[in-house]
Amino acid sequence: MPTYKHILVPVDESPISYAAVENALSLAKEIHASVTVMSVIAVDPFIGVDFYKVAPAVTEYFMKAEENALLRLKEIESLFSRDEISVNTKVIHGVSAAEGIINIADEVSADLIIMGSHGRTGLKKVVLGSVAQTVLTQSPIPVLIIKS
């Protein structure tokens, strides 16, 4: 069995994300791995919207999203610190969630990604996409998917 030394845990505001955190916490404690917990503030395309008319609202939205991500990461960081697990946090912007996760995994030399999956199927998956599926198929390192 491979020995994992650094686990990456991407999180958002979803309950399944927190289930991934709990799994990462348990595994990191057991195998003495360090952890990086991250959030991606992704830019969604505004098709058919006059950007200059909505720019202040968009800027405010992204500022609030980053503020929420930082609060969430601080809360999660305390869970790992409480159990004396080495933990770092990261927030990145301007890339898709999947691309951000894969980039950060490389940057921090993670050897395992633990992430939640919303379990979308059918039309919802086609329309909304699947970050977990993209990471799973594009990541050069193992990915543990926690399903809802």
Q: Structure pTM?
A: 0.85
Give the type of residue at 26: S
**Concatenated DSSP letters of 71-86:** HHHHHHHHHHHHTT--
Contact 37, 76 (CB under 8 A): yes
pLDDT in the model for residue 54: 58
Q: Is residue 1 part of a domain?
A: no
Q: Is residue 81 part of a domain?
A: yes
The domain of 107 spans 6-147
Least Cα distance to 105 among 28, 40, 22, 12 occurs for 40
Counting the structural domains of the chain, the total is: 1
Query: pLDDT tens string for the chain (148 positions)?
Result: 678 999 999 999 889 999 999 999 999 999 999 999 999 987 654 444 455 555 666 677 778 888 999 999 999 999 999 999 999 999 998 889 999 999 999 999 999 999 998 765 555 454 445 888 899 999 999 999 998 7
pLDDT in the model for residue 16: 92
CATH number at residue 58: 3.40.50.620
